[in-house]
Amino acid sequence: MSISTFRLHYLAKAATGVPRDLVNTFINSKLHPIRPTVLIYNCTWVCDAKCTMCNNWKWGDRKSDMTLDQLEPVLNSPFWGAVENLNISGGEPTTRLDLPEMVEMFQKHLPRLRKVGINTTGLTPARAIPMLTRIVEFCAAKGVLISIRVSLDGIGDVHDQVRTVKNGFNKASKTIEAMQSLAKTHPNFSFGIASTIFAKNMPDAENILAWARTKDLDVVFNMLRFTDAMLHNKELQESIGFHEPEEAFMRKFFLDRVQEESVLSGQAYMYLHYADMIANGYHRTMPCPFKDQGLLLNPNGDLHYCENSEKLGNVLDDSAESLYFKAENLKHRESIKNETCPTCLSPCQVNVSAMKQFIPYAKFLKRAYSVKRAPERHLETLPAVEPTR
Ligand SMILES: C[S@@+](CC[C@H](N)C(=O)[O-])C[C@H]1O[C@@H](n2cnc3c(N)ncnc32)[C@H](O)[C@@H]1O
Ligand code: SF4
Ligand code: SF4
């Protein structure tokens, strides 16, 4: 299905939860901690690439991945009953041959599940295509939206160099082609590619965009970031982090994308905020659902509130609920809000929060229209830096 039709489906699903969302955002979460509505599950660190900007592949260890037999009792609790958005990532999710059963298990235990997201390298098409097709068809049958993105960090050799994979571009292209064709016949399925741009592939950013356009593919550009709980890559910050030339390029690149995108798209929202952050010394003004209603579960069962939180404990030792609501852990979450959120670059499920905050979102729309009309005046539109929830 087209991305805009998918967005309408998503908005329609989200709209049914608006009164609950408003009560949660403005009342419940202020009075007492609410259950998670967004969940990221890194189902393995095993990977079929060795990327330059992510070290997850160094942590691959199949033996320490929770099996489905271990996961099922963890999920078998009303605690998970509020989760609406699930993102399955890794490592490479399709290296787990039980990935379709895993999605089926989540659907069974998450009664409010609206949308599943999966990121994949697409580098092993013979395995990934049938697996992902089964997942899309299962979600269609259950009325769950599914979004899949194949990562593509360059055209041809550039992709292979970033990912250290021979013939990687051609392999990923096969998966992309199959998924794009599947999306045409499944209205619940939105498909696109995702690119992470940094010094190594910056000269190829426009090529990726042009290539995606010729194929009519939706593309999302990730902002480079460093997090151990999600990418094991803090140690890379010094060697590959942005300097002035990358910052100048990326700010313009993001503003160019705002110009082209509909201001109503989630991408325009993120790109404008990233351009803001580069311009304002990395002060975050985007909301984040992980501040008060998110969880990140890692392959061995380690639980975190978000990609920048400490480990709360392990779900094989203690229930997720007890770890989530533990006073000491909640205190840690408060400290993250004060210390880490103000400069955090995480995009994870930002749009989920954005749509639930009507006044800041209306302000964003107004500003996005003026930046669209006059991008050279972006700096004049920068909002005052005040933390948003
Ligand atoms: C960690 S990967 C896991 C899924 C799968 N292995 C893949 O590469 O798509 C998820 C997404 O994170 C992106 N990513 C990797 N390193 C990143 C970094 N340092 N900053 C921002 N995004 C990054 C990848 O390009 C990919 O789109
Ligand atoms: S970005 Fe994805 S493919 Fe690359 S090392 Fe990280 S997890 Fe593996
Ligand atoms: S903004 Fe960043 S640090 Fe704060 S909760 Fe979200 S992911 Fe965590």
Confidence of residue 383 (pLDDT cuts 50, 70, 90): confident
Strand 85-89 versus strand 115-120 pairing type: parallel
Q: For the beta carbon of residue 259, count every other beta carbon within 10 angstroms.
A: 13
Q: Quote the ligand 1 centre to 284 CA distance (angstroms).
A: 21
Residue 139 has a pLDDT of 98
User: Whose Cα sits closest to atom 1 in ligand 3?
Assistant: 341
Give Cα separations from 326 to 76, 258, 331 (angstroms): 19, 41, 9
Which ligand minimizes its atom distance to the CA of 49? 2
Q: How far is the CA of 307 from the centre of ligand 1 (A)?
A: 13
**Of the residues 54, 94, 307, which should be mutated to test ligand 1's pocket, given the most ligand atoms within 8 Å of the CB?**
54
- pTM value is 0.91
Q: Could you tell me which of 346, 355, 344, 351 has the C-alpha nearest to residue 387? A: 344
Backbone φ and ψ for 218, nearest 5 degrees, come out as -70, 135
Query: For the segment 91-146, what is each residue's pLDDT rounded down to a tens digit?
Result: 999 999 999 999 999 999 999 999 999 999 999 999 999 999 999 999 999 999 99
Q: Are 301 and 42 in contact (CB under 8 A)?
A: no
Query: CA 116, CA 40: separation in Å to the nearest integer?
Result: 10
Predicted pLDDT of residue 202: 97
Question: Which residues have a Cβ under 8 Å from the Cβ of 161 and sit 6 or more positions away?
Answer: 52, 154, 200, 201
Structure token pair of residue 259: 């110009």
Torsion of CA 217, 344, 17, 2, to 10 degrees: 0
Question: What is the average pLDDT across 256-263?
Answer: 88
Q: Which ligand is nearest to the CA of 233?
A: 1
Strand order in the sheet with 115-120: 218-222, 189-196, 145-151, 115-120, 85-89, 38-42, 294-297, 302-304, 311-314
Would you say residue 335 has pLDDT above 90?
Answer: yes
Kindly report, residue by residue over 276-311, the tens digit of the pLDDT.
999 999 999 888 999 999 999 999 999 999 999 999
Between the alpha carbon of residue 201 and those of residues 6, 90, 195, 240, the distances in Å are 30, 22, 10, 11
Does the C-beta of 43 come closer than 6 Å to ligand 2?
no
Quick one: which atom of ligand 2 is closest to the CA of 57? 5
pLDDT at position 326 over 90: yes
pLDDT score recorded for residue 380 = 86
**pLDDT band for position 263 (cuts 50, 70, 90):** confident
Residue nearest to atom 1 of ligand 2 (CA): 54
Whether 14 is in the pocket of ligand 1, judged by its Cβ within 6 Å, is no
Give the whole-angstrom CA distance, residue 234 versus residue 227.
Answer: 6
List of domains in the chain = 3-241+292-352 (3.20.20.70)
pLDDT tens track for 62-97: 999 999 999 999 999 999 999 999 999 999 999 999
Q: Which of 25-29, 215-219, 292-296, 304-308 has the lowest mean pLDDT?
A: 25-29
pLDDT greater than 70 at residue 273 = yes
Average pLDDT over residues 263-270: 84
Token pair recorded at residue 261: 């995108």
- For ligand 2, whether the C-beta of 346 sits within 6 Å is no
When the pLDDT of each residue in the chain is averaged and rounded to a whole number, the result is: 91
The more confident residue out of 262 and 51 is 51
**Ligand 1 atom closest to 236 (CA):** 19
Residue 53 reports pLDDT greater than 90: yes
Rounded average pLDDT over 379-387 = 77
Ligand 1: which residue has its CA nearest to atom 10? 119
| Backbone Cα Rg of the chain | 20
Distances (CA, A) of 100 to 96, 111, 162: 9, 18, 28
CA of 207 to the centre of ligand 2 (A): 21
Residue 344 alpha carbon to ligand 1 centre in Å: 16
Whether residue 23 is predicted with pLDDT greater than 70 in this model: the reply is no
- Which percentage of the chain shows pLDDT scores above 90? 77
Distance between alpha carbon 33 and the CA centroid of its chain, in Å?
Answer: 23
Ligand 1, pocket-test mutation among 202, 222, 307, 350, most atoms within 8 A of CB:
222
Please report the pLDDT score of residue 389 as a whole number.
43
d(CA 264, CA 242): 29
